[in-house]
Every structure is written in C-alpha cells, then in structure tokens.
Amino acid sequence: MWRLGYSCLILAAVPFILARLWWRGRREPFYRRRIGERFGYYRDAPSGKPLIWLHAVSVGEARACARLVRALGTAHPECGVLLTCMTAAGREALRELHGESVHIAWLPYDYPGAARRFLEHFRPRLAVLMETEIWPNLVAACAEHGVPVLLANARMSEKSALSYQRWRGLTHPAIAALAIVCAQSDKDAARLRALGARRIEVIGNVKFDVVPDEAKRSEGRAWRARLARPVLLLASTREGEEKALLEALPPWDENLLLLVVPRHPRRFEEVSDFAQSRRSRALMPAPGDRVHLGDTMGEMDFYFAAADVAVIGGSFAPLGGQNLIEACAAGVPVVFGPSMFNFSEAARLALEAGAAVQAADAAGAIGEAVKLLSNSEQRKKMGAAGKALCDAHRGATQKHLALCEELLGTATTAAVTVSAPG
C-alpha cells in the first residue's frame, strides 16, 4: 500500500520533472538529451556480454567508485560494465574516467514500469548502488528479477535516519531487500540495521582509495609556482556561501588570491559576478585579480594542488558538507563549517588526526584559514597528517570487491589487484 501511494505521487510529478529537466538544460544541455532513458526507454545496449551494473548519482560517487569499476572489469572480463547516474556532471565524469570501456546511461526515475523496463533491457547480474541511493520500486524490481543489490559505501546520518523512519512503511521493505550493505562506519551500520538492513559489513569509505590524477596535480603545482601568491581555495561551495566567505575576509593585501570552485556547474555564471578572472578563459589570473573562478570540470586535483589552504563548501548551511578526503590526500590543510553530516566519519577522523579545523560559521572559517596562511609550519604539519590519514584508511575498495564476488557467485582463488584510475 505504501509503495502504491508513493508510485501514484511520483506519477503525478511527471510534468514537473519534465519541466525541471528542460529548465536545467538551459545551462547543462545534456539534461535535454536521452530523456526517454529517464522513463526506462533505451535505444542501445552492450551486446554479447552479461552486465555488472553500478549506479553513481553524481560526480563524487562517480569518482569514488572508479577503482571498484576497474577492479570488477579486471575480475570479470566476460562481463560488460553498465554505469548509471542522475546528473549531467556525473555523466560527464563517468565518461572522463572510463571512456568507451563501459556503457553509460541515465538511471530511470523510480516508476515501477520504468524500473522493470530498465532491468529487462540490460538484464544485469549484479546491482551496486553507491551510498544512499535506495529507491523502493527499483529495489523491488531487482528482487523480482533475481538481481542481488549491494549498497556500497553506505552512509546514514542521524537526520536522514529520522526521515527514513518516518516513512518506514515504504523504506523498511526496500532496505530489508538489500543483499549486503557495506557501511562506512559503526554508526552508519547501527542506523541502517535499525531501518531494516539484514546483512551489514562495516568496511570503511572507498573515497579514501581515490588516487589523485598526477598530471593534474603537477599542473596545479606549476600553476601555483608561476602565480607566486598565496592561494586560498573555496572548494565545492553552495548557494550563498561564496558571498558569506568573501565578506568575512580581511581587507585585501593585494597579494592573496581567492580560488572559488562552485559545487555545481550551473552556478558558474552566478559566481562569476564575484570574480575578476576564470580558469576557462584565462589560464593565469592577472596580478590585480583578487578572485579567480574555477569553472572547469574534472579538475579538483588541479585546484587542490594549487592551494595553500582549502575551505570546504556545503558546510556553512545545513547541507551536510562536501568531500574533504580529496584535500587531505593532496596534503592541503582543511577548514570546514558546522554542517558535515554527510561526511561525519571522515570529518571526525580528519579532526582527530590534526588534518582539519572546524569553525562555527563562515567568519570563523576565514579566520582559521587566514591564520594558517601565515603559518607555513602548521600548514606543513596538517598536510602531512591528511596524507597519513588517507594512507591509513585505504582498502575499502578491495573489501567491496570481495563482497561483489560473493554475490556474483564467483569463487575467487587469487586476489585481484585494484588498478588506479588513469
């Protein structure tokens, strides 16, 4: 009954969904392409091979699962790999990471018919859903079609758990139908178990396994050396954060460069109002530029390598923060705000390791960042702590692979080496 009511509600939302896709397509044209896939109508498919399917909703999940995608491809050359996503930026990231070695499609919206058409078209042997992508009709359809579902890199904040509990009649059957849940932490596992998960393995965060692009890192370091100015990076900022952070800065000393990289490409034009130059149009800022806009995709390794200190966006409003692990892996001191519930375990570990500082608000974050910019020894110490933290927590990808093998019914007699993306 719960799922029937849910399906009726999302069916009624079709006109609004189409309008939203068309609206977002003004700035990101790919939203207007292959719209039929959003409702389970596909024109093509990989031929001749059974498929292993992984779903990464957007850019962060696409990067996080890259090593697992390659590992599964190495372990199962007899299979093709299907990758699905929901955002234009995520689709672009998947193509950049994997090229033509995988098949990429939109995941359909969670209509019963769309989920059924998707599964009957691709007929995957295994479904791997990243983090919290638990769609009731999709999971039910997988059960009906005999497709085991593994929830990878699973996290469940206290806030999200309360929402899931409120809709327990809908969410409990979906979570209970998951074959294996791979939780990032004991707290995530406890919340997911309370919501109905039957089998949970606590195996850490695969984002610690992401290997930076060395070419981009080298380019970023060279850019920073040529610039010869201190660089404060505002990374993955969300609506309203740029203004608050910029207003908290002390009077400009005509030396510090603010490098601002918004989380969503659709906001590049909006944020350009604050900037005097932008990477897509000028490789180097002019000497008198105070703010430089990072408006290119797939270059976070460049931006972190170019920075002296990184302030992590999404953390100054109740949005749950953005990924701080990439900054730690690059050896950049991290400052973030009060809201980090989407990365609570990684934030806790970074604070305990001395790789990060948490501030109560935007003004406090800028204050901490300015102090770090004037203290090279502290920056060096925090950067080394971040790298050590990432080194100590690698290995979750290999554990995910072993559980995928179990669900695929494959007896692996030798360990499969996880190759780095590149």
Residue pLDDT, tens place only, 79-129:
999 999 999 989 999 999 999 999 999 999 999 999 999 999 999 999 999
Report if pTM > 0.85.
yes
Residues in the chain where the model's pLDDT stays below 70: 47, 410-422
Of 28, 37, 61, 201, which residue is the catalytic one?
A: 61
DSSP string, 175-205: HHT-SEEEESSHHHHHHHHHTT-S-EEE---
Domain identity same for 72 and 26: yes
Domain identity same for 328 and 403: no
Collect all residues with Cβ–Cβ distance below 8 Å to 38 and sequence separation of at least 6: 17, 21, 106, 108, 109, 114
Domain identity same for 191 and 300: no
Contact 355, 372 (CB under 8 A): no
Q: Is residue 415 part of a domain?
A: no
Q: Is residue 24 part of a domain?
A: yes
Domain identity same for 178 and 300: no
Instruction: Mark whether 61 is an active-site residue.
Output: yes
Nearest residue to 233 via CA among 192, 191, 279, 270:
279
Domain identity same for 180 and 226: no
Nearest residue to 72 via CA among 64, 63, 81:
81
Q: Give me the pLDDT at residue 266, please.
A: 86
Tally of domains within the chain: 2
Rounded to 10°, the helix 376-392/344-353 angle is 130
Domain identity same for 183 and 295: no
> From the CB of residue 284, how many other CB atoms can be counted at a distance below 10 Å?
12
Domain identity same for 112 and 194: yes
Domain identity same for 51 and 161: yes
Q: Give me the pLDDT at residue 371, please.
A: 97
Query: Strand runs (DSSP E) across 158-296, as ranges?
Result: 180-183, 200-202, 231-237, 257-262, 277-278, 291-293
CB-count burial class (<10 Å; 0-12, 13-18, 19+) for 422: exposed
Q: Is residue 245 part of a domain?
A: yes
Q: Is residue 37 part of a domain?
A: yes
CA distance 126 to 267: 36
Domain identity same for 379 and 400: no
Contact 76, 410 (CB under 8 A): yes
Q: Is residue 304 part of a domain?
A: yes
Find where tokens 């309008």 sit.
19
Domain identity same for 179 and 306: no
Q: Give me the pLDDT at residue 211, please.
A: 83
Q: Tell me the torsion sign for CA atoms 28, 99, 322, 383.
A: negative
Collect all residues with Cβ–Cβ distance below 8 Å to 422 and sequence separation of at least 6: 211, 213, 214
Q: Give me the pLDDT at residue 161, please.
A: 94
Give me the CATH number covering residue 41. Answer: 3.40.50.11720
Q: 309 pairs with which residues across the strands? A: 232
CB-count burial class (<10 Å; 0-12, 13-18, 19+) for 193: middle
Give me the CATH number covering residue 362. Answer: 3.40.50.2000
* Edge-to-edge strand ranges of the sheet holding 124-130: 103-106, 80-85, 51-55, 124-130, 149-154, 180-183, 200-202
Q: Domain of residue 275: give its range.
A: 214-392
